[in-house]
Amino acid sequence: MSNYISTIYRLSTEPAVTCNLSYEVKREGDRVYYRFKVRVGTLYPNTLTFPYNLKADITLNGKKFLSGGTLKDIQPSKWTVPFTIYFPHKTGWYRVDNVGNVSNLPCTVRLYSTQTSGTAASTGVVAVPVKENDVRNIKVKINGVWKNVSNVYVKVNGIWKKAEKLYVKINGIWRGS
């Protein structure tokens, strides 16, 4: 099973730093846009300090989009509430072109510190939204059974035939299979 990017990592630093990694995604035709969010947890116990950098690298579909992105500079060395960093930034997006009809893209997010050589990395896949006009994953209920629209049969003149084209109304728009 693939390791999806959305989890909590404990970096091998001293003291240990935890990061919650997630992403947002949107699609426009053959382009997919991603934005990553890293929430850095507080130090425990809160008397500890961490005067080191925290960094991130992001690779999507074999292309490195971020190298040495800053999660935290050397200062502050102590923080009492978690903080959140977005890559590329809170309103920005990384763009991956020509994704075709894939449902997942390979992705590696590496979180690390200048204090140690240890890293926390997630190598897996990120989801790709289905194209708006792509109805491969649309299902219809026939006799109480959900079926993919590409496997629907209709009775024509008493003979069952596989439907050549099926239209389904989605959000007020008719889409063909």
pLDDT tens digits for 20-56?
Answer: 888 888 888 888 999 999 999 988 777 889 999 999 9
Average pLDDT over residues 82-90: 93
Q: Which residue has the tokens 């024509």?
A: 156
Domain limits for position 72: 7-127
Shared-domain flag, residues 22 and 70: yes
Shared-domain flag, residues 145 and 103: no
pLDDT tens digits for 143-177?
Answer: 777 766 665 666 677 777 666 666 666 666 666 65
Shared-domain flag, residues 68 and 146: no
Between the alpha carbon of residue 157 and those of residues 151, 152, 154, 160, 167, the distances in Å are 19, 16, 10, 8, 20
- Asked whether residue 18 carries a pLDDT value surpassing 90, the answer given is no
Shared-domain flag, residues 144 and 121: no
Shared-domain flag, residues 143 and 168: yes
Shared-domain flag, residues 101 and 19: yes
What tokens does 144 get? 């109480």
